[in-house]
Structure 1
Amino acid sequence: MTTAKDLFVIAIDQGPEHAVGQGDLSLALAGAELIDLVGAGAVTVDGDRVVPGGPPAPAPGDRLLGEAAERLTRQPPYERIEDWLWRRGRDLSSVYQTALEEDGELTRKRGGRLSFGSERVEPVDSPGRRRAAGRWEAKEPVLAALASVVGIDDGRSGDEPGLDDKPGLEDEAVTTVVAAVHDAVMELEAVRQRRTIENAAYANLWRGP
């Protein structure tokens, strides 16, 4: 399992009262892929740009991470992290749901824990789910940071160390990616709010005084 798959499992394991939006999760999954590619030596982060390294070296046997590596922009001036998140992240949560269902990591349930449209799914008791749960319970900093961006609380109290003090997030590339995910999620929320206001104004126009 990759960080993106672990994040997806953690997101759908939170219960319906803590459902994560597809758009937010898709952006975070794209960020998780990028962090794993950095860790694998497939890319480096230069300022706000994603610079491909040598031959892609994703996690062994992981099709989605390999697909992400293949979709990197390999010509200068290279792609900005923000642009990568929006391009790769488009409908990415649905892609991960399908892949995990095919791998037997998810099952559809009538009373499932998270609904994506008309579909309801929940994780099965598998080594992958236990690995994700182990990282989550250990408050693994990268997973916790990405989850926090999409509104999933890792249970840390307010006086516990912040992200900059956690081992594993002192890497500048990782913190840059996490910050970019945060900014993208905030931008998406701003778009949602603007559309809500516009729709309300339109409805009031037709309703009349």
Structure 2
Amino acid sequence: MTTAKDLFIIAIGPTPQHAVGQGDLSLALAGAELVDLIDAGVVSVDEDHIVAAGSSAPDDRLLAEAAAQLVRQPPHERVEDWLWRRGRDLSAAYQADLEGSGDLTSKRSGRLPFSPLRVEPADTPVHSRAADRWQQKEPVLTALASVLGISHEESDDEPGLDDDAVTAVVAAAHDAVMELEAARQRRTIENATFANIWRGP
């Protein structure tokens, strides 16, 4: 399992206080992948740039795919640029991967046969691992979940991160999610303005 898969399971589980947008989740998943690549020694972070190392590719398919997409020659890619590039439609890729492995299941949200389908974690060891990390307030998972507005109900206290590179990634993910939300708000205002022009006085 990877931090990104754990984060996906937490994000779609019953614990979040609100629905998580696919764009927000994709950016956070890209951050989670980068954290795991740092932990595996595949990359390091020099200020806000990602520097690829010579370590072997991870065993996980999606994480290996992320490693293969690294910019390995100078000028090195900025963390935030990586999040936007790698994060494109990443939540859909993780959903497909977890559904394929049987770790996600689709259920109807109501009793009627035409009720919308809702994806939720299956009762598997993968789900148990993610739930254990979350219950133990594992610092990296907790910090990445907070980027999505997900926090522990019993406490707002978050364990501190003791790695500068990981801290930089989490901060960049937070900034990217805030930027995406600002873009959504601008689009909403523009659409409302356009509608008012057509509607007339």
TM-score w.r.t. the length of structure 2 is: 0.93
- Tell me, yes or no, if structure 1 residue 68 matches structure 2 residue 60: no
1:86 to 72, 79, 84: 84
Q: Residue 48 of structure 1 aligns with which residue?
A: 48
Amino acid paired to 2:72: R
- Cα distance, 1:108 vs structure 2: 1.2
Amino acid paired to 1:155: E
- Cα distance, 1:77 vs structure 2: 1.0
Q: Is the 8 A contact 1:40 1:57 kept in 2?
A: no
2:174 to 172, 175, 182: 182
In 2: Cα distance, 1:134 partner to 1:92 partner: 24
Q: Residue 192 of structure 1 aligns with which residue?
A: 184
Q: Is the 8 A contact 2:26 2:88 kept in 1?
A: yes
Q: Residue 106 of structure 2 aligns with which residue?
A: 108
In 2: Cα distance, 1:15 partner to 1:41 partner: 32
In 2: Cα distance, 1:176 partner to 1:15 partner: 26
Taking a change above 3 Å as real, the CA distance of residues 156 and 39 of structure 1, as seen in their structure-2 partners, is farther
Amino acid paired to 1:88: R
Amino acid paired to 1:181: A
- Cα distance, 1:18 vs structure 2: 2.0
In 2: Cα distance, 1:185 partner to 1:32 partner: 14
| Aligned sequence identity (%) | 68
CA offset digits 1:121-166 (Å, max 9, x no partner):
11100000000000000000100000011011123534x4x55xx2
In 2: Cα distance, 1:189 partner to 1:18 partner: 15
In 1: Cα distance, 2:69 partner to 2:102 partner: 26
- Cα distance, 1:14 vs structure 2: 2.7
In 2: Cα distance, 1:71 partner to 1:6 partner: 22
- Cα distance, 1:15 vs structure 2: 6.1
Give 5+ residue unaligned stretches, structure 2.
111-115
In 2: Cα distance, 1:56 partner to 1:86 partner: 24
In 1: Cα distance, 2:137 partner to 2:88 partner: 28
Taking a change above 3 Å as real, the CA distance of residues 43 and 156 of structure 1, as seen in their structure-2 partners, is farther
Q: Is the 8 A contact 2:109 2:117 kept in 1?
A: no
